[in-house]
Amino acid sequence: MNLLSLLETKVYAVTAVGSTPIQGMSIDSVSGFITTITNIIIIVGVGLVVLFLAIGFVKYVTSGGDKAAVDSAQKTLTYAVIGGVGLLLVYGLRTLILGLIGGDVSQIESY
């Protein structure tokens, strides 16, 4: 027995007593957590992109040739498209991060 063995303490993992998992979410690893969070971001983001595209098209159709209204509609459509590109970047970053940490990229859950 040496001096270092006297300083060592054994640590054991223990599950939390009384903890219950969130219903419908199977998060059991870091890759599962990343996948769940990015899925939520993508689902909400796609909904917002579709909503703002619809708003932009309605503004454009109802502008009646008014220069300010047409500019407002074009800005709304532009921002919606930029948001869609941002969602593609989120999806790509998720795939990249899961590949780097060794997560299973082939089983990315889709809703």
Give the whole-angstrom CA distance, residue 94 versus residue 47: 19
| Tens of pLDDT, residues 84-97 | 999 999 999 988 88
| Residue 16 resides in a domain | no
What is the distance between the alpha carbons of residues 74 and 91, in angstroms, rounded to a whole number? 26
Report if residue 22 sits inside a domain. Answer: no
CA distance 31 to 72: 41
pLDDT band at residue 55, thresholds of 50, 70 and 90?
A: very high
Q: Write out the H or E segment, with its range, that includes residue 91.
A: helix 67-101
Domain count, the chain: 1
Residue 29 has what pLDDT? 73
Give the domain extent around 50.
Answer: 38-104
Q: pLDDT tens across 34-54, in order? A: 888 888 999 999 999 999 999
What's this model's pTM, rounded to 2 decimal places?
0.67
E strand or H helix that includes residue 90? helix 67-101
Domain-located, residue 79 = yes
Q: How far apart are CA 62 and CA 105, in angstroms?
A: 44
Percent of the chain topping pLDDT 90: 45
Q: Is residue 14 part of a domain?
A: no
